[in-house]
Structure 1
Amino acid sequence: MVERTTPWQEALMDIVVIGAGYAGTLAANRLRKRAPDAHITVVNPRDDFIERVRLHEQIAGSGTAARPLTEMLADGIACETASVDKIGDGTVTLDSGRNLDFDYAVLATGSIADPIPGAIPVGTWEGAEQARAALAALPAGGIVTVIGGGLTGIETAAEVAEARPDLRVRLVSDTVAASLSVGARRHVRRTLDRLTVEIVAGRVIEIDGTTLRLRSGDELDSDLTLWAIFAAVPDLAARSGLAVDADGRALVDATLRSTTDPRVFAVGDCAAVPGMRMACATAAPQGAHAADTLVRMSKGQEPRPFSLGYAGQGMSLGRHDGLQQITDRADVPYRLFLRGPIAAFVKERVCRLAANASRAGYTVWLRGPRR
């Protein structure tokens, strides 16, 4: 048994990582490499690693988004297939009633969708599987409506339209591709038009059977309605007594440690970090930073503040088209963007790199812009 002689080294003995998405998986694997004496347990509600950036492929049947966690986690990492009811005073309580003691915990539960009744969320594994089955059962001529004009909604509408040209596909949103440059938005609309995706400006406020009611008072028919808006996070942090913002994200200091309990790190979508957007491009660096901070503390070194700069936003537009928007480090789009097959190729490479980075516990990122 390795003798630990400092308080910080002893504190690395038991680490619980809650959530096995991009941030949690990368943090666990990075800790396994850099703190080999630590006992690391990953808690996840399913025994698969879900590539959220591929869920639109899962829905359309053009790809798969699940990998066994046994293939993603390094040897020596314990894995509990369970949900967490509460994070207490150095204890994580599972839904089975079992407790896991920790010296440090990494909260990486990601984000969830909060659809209006009658819509299926596309950003969760369960929702994607439900949508896949419903889409496969739709006869020719059926109407699919995607609610949400962000990158997820656009990818979903394009993927479904390409995979099922026998269906009518529409996208409903107040705005479409608002985070992109003018030229990039123009390309998105042209591509959706080529795929015969109808764009309807508005907001759906109610679903009654196969009828969608818009805020304007207009009504639309829809045989399958998909919700592609992310606006919520799991309430684990709030119900555990951790300080959260108005959206339920855990409040953290500059090093990603909870402002309520410094033994808890929050990373990815569930962390309230100013200037960050929900993306694997955010989650992976934050997971890596949390792991590195724990290692630094184990050596008696001061933790460093987290800093992240973006380089771009990418999306697929079916299997053979895509768009890569170049941005500054603050995520503000430049006029420059890539489109077509080369952008689709880049997007595919980025998706593979994101999963491989989580498995390897290694990633690199730009420092954030000067404020």
Structure 2
Amino acid sequence: MRVVVVGAGYAGMSAANRLARKVPSAEITVINPRPDFVERVRLHQQIAGTGAAATPLASMLPAGVTSRVGTVDRIGDGAVVLDDGERIDFDHAILAVGSTALPMPGTVPVGTWEGAEQARGALAALPAGSTVTVVGGGPTGIETAAEVAGARPDVRVRLVGSSVAGSFSHGARQRVHASLRQLRVDVVDDDVTRVAEGSGRSDGVVRLRSGAAFPSDLTLWAIVAGIPDLAARSGLAVNAEGRAVVDEFLRSVTDERVFVVGDCAAVPGARLSCQSSAPQGAHAANNLARIVAGRRPEPYAVRYVGLGVSLGRKDAVVQFTRRDDTLRRAYIAGGTAGVVKEIASRGAKLGARTGIGG
């Protein structure tokens, strides 16, 4: 059986490694634009120079799995076609291309590897007294602002968002704001409408919906919302957001040979996170193993336990949720939460590398 996995994030790696364990005879090929597995939950550390987010695929995959560096142009009719025209046939495919950022002109996206590397270089080049603006009030924006403020106390950091930490309960949200104040991060409750170029090479002016404006030497776009158009371009059914529509078994409703997992899959009740992607990848591999064995696949069920955000290297807030991702009142914060968040991040990588869990 020939299986092609498109994408080597949490979903793709979990699927490839789980399937290698479940079906040792399978010929598995992983195709990814770069030769590394990128921990998106550590990109804020990559930017600030406090940690590394990339690990070579060679150390993440077993010897029997082939990895290819390349970009897939389309998928369908039992084959994936790379942008150089090469065709790789499959019996089954697992589409796991994740999500991306659609940055406003004049900003640097921090939710992608390429953007994080660009931001890292730009931040390192900033002199003391500069201003860094982070756009986005979700976990990506909060973690980026906090990490930069902790690593570069000599620069001013602003976090702009209409609802900073709005996905947390009231108590947890207040705790996040308190930590940001302690880090001297200025929180601006507003939306950015434009980033105009300034007189220098990197400086600019951030304009807000309220009409206010302020200078910014480096503006980081911390909103992850875009979906690669590979599924749509390949003729697979997608929803209004561009996510591939799947059945209860995580198979494309257009082509049952193609499983779709992670951020690029329209799974009801799932949010963009490794807490969603890794279990979906593992479940797709389990279902493919069941199909190979002549058994019926099993429906996928969304299950959550919490929502965490790092606030520098020694602080965090972990919000507990119900299985359906609705919020509980309970949360933990401080050093203990920081340890829990780090354990969860390491566990996500371990699960992706081993295929265990999910």
Give the letter aligned to residue 307 of structure 1. A
Query: Are 1:109 and 2:103 matched, yes or no?
Result: no
After TM superposition, give the deviation of residue 300 of structure 1 in Å.
1.1
After TM superposition, give the deviation of residue 315 of structure 1 in Å.
1.3
The whole-number CA distance in structure 1 between the counterparts of 2:258 and 2:226 is 20
Query: Are 1:339 and 2:333 matched, yes or no?
Result: yes
CA RMSD of aligned residues (A): 0.7
Query: Are 1:207 and 2:195 matched, yes or no?
Result: yes
Matches within 5 A, 1:163-242: 163-209=151-197, 210-242=204-236
1:140-191 CA distance string (max 9 Å, x none):
1100000000011000000000000000000001101111110000000100
- 211-220 or 105-114: bigger deviation: 211-220
The whole-number CA distance in structure 1 between the counterparts of 2:214 and 2:238 is 38
Partner of 1:359: 353
* SS at structure 2 position matched to 1:319: coil
The whole-number CA distance in structure 1 between the counterparts of 2:72 and 2:116 is 22
The whole-number CA distance in structure 2 between the counterparts of 1:309 and 1:360 is 20
Partner of 2:262: 268
* SS at structure 1 position matched to 2:147: helix
The whole-number CA distance in structure 2 between the counterparts of 1:160 and 1:332 is 30
The whole-number CA distance in structure 2 between the counterparts of 1:351 and 1:26 is 14
1:236-270 CA distance string (max 9 Å, x none):
00000000001100000000000111110000000
The whole-number CA distance in structure 1 between the counterparts of 2:211 and 2:228 is 32
The whole-number CA distance in structure 2 between the counterparts of 1:45 and 1:299 is 32
Query: Are 1:302 and 2:296 matched, yes or no?
Result: yes
Q: Structure 2: which 5+ residue stretches go unaligned?
A: 198-203
The whole-number CA distance in structure 1 between the counterparts of 2:302 and 2:268 is 11
Give the letter aligned to residue 258 of structure 1. S
The whole-number CA distance in structure 1 between the counterparts of 2:150 and 2:78 is 50
The whole-number CA distance in structure 1 between the counterparts of 2:106 and 2:63 is 42
Aligned counterpart in structure 2 of residue 70 of structure 1, from 31, 55, 58: 58
Runs of 4+ in structure 1 off by over 2 angstroms are none
After TM superposition, give the deviation of residue 88 of structure 1 in Å.
2.3
Contact preservation (8 Å) 2:161, 2:189: yes
* SS at structure 2 position matched to 1:62: coil
Query: Are 1:312 and 2:300 matched, yes or no?
Result: no
Query: Are 1:253 and 2:247 matched, yes or no?
Result: yes
Give the letter aligned to residue 3 of structure 2. I
- 211-220 or 144-153: bigger deviation: 211-220
* SS at structure 2 position matched to 1:230: coil
* SS at structure 1 position matched to 2:167: coil
Give the letter aligned to residue 219 of structure 1. A
1:74-93 CA distance string (max 9 Å, x none):
11101110000001211100
* SS at structure 2 position matched to 1:29: helix
Aligned counterpart in structure 2 of residue 139 of structure 1, from 115, 127, 134: 127
Contact preservation (8 Å) 2:74, 2:234: yes
The whole-number CA distance in structure 2 between the counterparts of 1:38 and 1:231 is 34
After TM superposition, give the deviation of residue 111 of structure 1 in Å.
0.2
The whole-number CA distance in structure 2 between the counterparts of 1:274 and 1:96 is 35
* SS at structure 2 position matched to 1:241: coil
Query: Are 1:162 and 2:150 matched, yes or no?
Result: yes
After TM superposition, give the deviation of residue 282 of structure 1 in Å.
0.4
After TM superposition, give the deviation of residue 40 of structure 1 in Å.
0.4
The whole-number CA distance in structure 2 between the counterparts of 1:102 and 1:118 is 41
Q: Structure 1: which 5+ residue stretches go unaligned?
A: 1-12, 365-371
1:258-294 CA distance string (max 9 Å, x none):
0111110000000001110000000010000100000
The whole-number CA distance in structure 2 between the counterparts of 1:358 and 1:105 is 18
The whole-number CA distance in structure 2 between the counterparts of 1:132 and 1:199 is 22
Give the letter aligned to residue 135 of structure 1. L
Partner of 1:42: 30
Aligned counterpart in structure 2 of residue 121 of structure 1, from 97, 101, 109: 109
Contact preservation (8 Å) 2:261, 2:284: yes
Matches within 5 A, 1:2-41: 13-41=1-29
Equivalences, count: 352
1:181-216 CA distance string (max 9 Å, x none):
100000001000000000111111111110111122
1:48-84 CA distance string (max 9 Å, x none):
0000000000000000000000000111101110000
Aligned counterpart in structure 1 of residue 46 of structure 2, from 55, 58, 63: 58
TM-score, with length taken from structure 1: 0.94
TM-score, with length taken from structure 2: 0.97
The whole-number CA distance in structure 1 between the counterparts of 2:225 and 2:212 is 24
Give the letter aligned to residue 186 of structure 1. Q
Q: Identity across aligned pairs (percent)?
A: 59
Partner of 1:367: none
Aligned counterpart in structure 1 of residue 283 of structure 2, from 269, 277, 289: 289
The whole-number CA distance in structure 1 between the counterparts of 2:211 and 2:302 is 43
* SS at structure 2 position matched to 1:255: coil
